[in-house]
Chains A and B, each alone.
Chain A
Amino acid sequence: GAVVSQHPSRVICKSGTSVKIECRSLDFQATTMFWYRQFPKQSLMLMATSNEGSKATYEQGVEKDKFLINHASLTLSTLTVTSAHPEDSSFYICSARARGGTGELFFGEGSRLTVL
């Protein structure tokens, strides 16, 4: 199956700093990538849809200035959590859909962010 790689898998940072998470589709081109956030023991909540070469589409309630998404190429999308605070601590998962197929999403391994 298609492979999506996410980096870093774990990151700990101080409050007020910015953190960048990368999501790469390794063996396919992904015109659309999705960023999800998952709190402990909860479901995945869609944050934004990232389209290559255009601005991301954010879900209601997600601060676009707080969570900067850049989809610079067909294989790379980045999520930057700006001025992180402890409440931003969460599990962030990216996913990508290959062209054609059933619409199945291939997920990265996830990134666990802890803000001290």
Chain B
Amino acid sequence: AQKITQTQPGMFVQEKEAVTLDCTYDTSDPSYGLFWYKQPSSGEMIFLIYQGSYDQQNATEGRYSLNFQKARKSANLVISASQLGDSAMYFCAMREGQGGYNKLIFGAGTRLAVHP
């Protein structure tokens, strides 16, 4: 069963507008972590934001915020004031449980194109 689902293969947004990238997950573990990474065309994976399952507030990092809806098992990424440099692939990922051995499982990704 797919654990991380990103239903939007591609999205586009006008520069300076906000955009939401969807992510839903499936786990029976009460302790988990949710991550968003950005992958530009160069290939490197850039960490954007993290949300722990026990965190009471939605995570925010600059222009990035995570809309965490635990009951719906969704962790959407919101990018405010989009910039041309935001054009990239975006991956949602989940870690189940605690500890250094727990692996990250990635969603299929969403390709974001920011238009001037």
Contact = CB atoms under 8 A, between A and B. Distances in A.
A72 to B, nearest CB: 18
A90 B3 CA distance: 24
Contacts, number: 60
A114 B76 CA distance: 35
A96 B84 CA distance: 29
Size band of the interface chain B makes with A: 20 to 34
A36 to B, nearest CB: 8
B44 A110 contact: yes
B47 A91 contact: no
Interface in A91-116: 91, 93, 95, 97, 99, 102-110, 112
B27 to A, nearest CB: 14
B8 interface: no
B101 to A, nearest CB: 6
Interface stretch (A11-19, A43-51, A77-85): A43-51
A1 interface: yes
Contacts of A91: 43
A67 interface: no
Contacts of A106: 47
B91 interface: yes
A102 B50 contact: yes
Q: Which of B47, B52, B91, B105 is most buried by chain A, counting CB atoms within 10 A of its CB?
A: B47
Given A42-B108, A43-B91, A44-B91, A104 B103 contact: no
A95 B95 CA distance: 14
A95 B45 contact: yes
Contacts of B105: 46
Given A31-B100, A34-B103, A103 B44 contact: no
Interface in B71-116: 91, 95, 98, 100-109
Contacts of A108: 44
A32 B35 CA distance: 18
